[in-house]
Amino acid sequence: MDEAYQYADDFPDERIAQQRDVMHKTAQPAGDRFQSDAERYASYLTTPEGRLRLDLAFANLEEFLCARSPSSLCALDLGGGTGATAVRLARLGVRVTLLDSSQAMLDIARHAALEAGVAAQVAMQLGDAAHVADLFPGRSFDVVLCHNLLEYVDEPHLVLVEAARAMRDSASILSVLVRNRAGEVLKAAIQAGDLKAAENAVTEEWGHESLYGGKVRLFTLDTLRALLKAASLTVVAERGVRVASDYLPPQVSRSAQYEQIIKLESKLGRRPEFTAVARYLHCLARRTPE
């Protein structure tokens, strides 16, 4: 790990210190679902659905890495899991610190980095996003990833506050990917044909996580915007991820027609009317100038 990351920052601001204390008491890791059987998650990311989520989100993020040379960037991947995104960033030359609360996930990520020849570019850190301020100095990272993490913590706002404090300056970028409530409604109605479940999902705060089981927090664009604003973050782009692909008829091969599907998804995900009903919401934000 980079020497600069070995020292915790001191925060004299009493209000932030109080927020950290609250978060340490309330924020929980995702639970046993991510502590065991990490291979199941790694396998999911090789499916067309998993690949689409990765590829579309990474393409969105990559747009905001063009202004500077990747080799000059430091990234923090919060809840980075098996390292799929961290390895992609490292291949571009970005120095990445991957933080995850599951040692099994980190072991897979370490192997992936070695196989990709980027092990020197990726530092592994065991821990969870609730303790970012204790693990890394403030203003240390040019890119902070928070992909499919806020769904599993008790205090999403406080995680975003910590993420914002880790960002180096107003040019740094935060990438947040979350489960969309509207996607749960459409999934119940179109995939399952369960109209009652679809009706209930319109106002549900929690959905069902099918890979491991258990609850997953649902977001709307309005709630996500409000959370980012409260954390002193300004949204610079909004994208939808997996707008139509989950509902394609069986005769459409997700594997054979992958390139066509991702081309369509890329177009749909840039349009606000489709972003609003995507399975995942992707927001890119910068620190609000003080």
pLDDT, one tens digit per residue, over 220-241 is: 999 999 999 999 999 999 999 9
Within 10 A of 50 (CB to CB), how many other CB atoms are there? 16
Among residues 179, 132, 190, the alpha carbon closest in space to that of 11 is found at 132
Q: Is 100 exposed, middle or buried (0-12, 13-18, 19+ CB in 10 A)?
A: buried
Position 157 scores a pLDDT of 94
Residues 6+ apart with CB under 8 A from 18: none
Low-confidence residues in the chain, pLDDT < 50: 1-30
Domain count, the chain: 1
CATH of residue 170's domain is 3.40.50.150
| CA atoms of 173 and 143, how far apart (whole Å) | 5
Position 31 scores a pLDDT of 52
Position 71 scores a pLDDT of 85
Position 66 scores a pLDDT of 66
- Do the Cβ atoms of 2 and 95 come closer than 8 Å? yes
Look up the domain containing 31 and give its range: 3-287
Q: How far apart are the first and last CA of the chain?
A: 30
Among residues 222, 257, 223, 221, the alpha carbon closest in space to that of 241 is found at 221
Position 116 scores a pLDDT of 98
Position 32 scores a pLDDT of 60
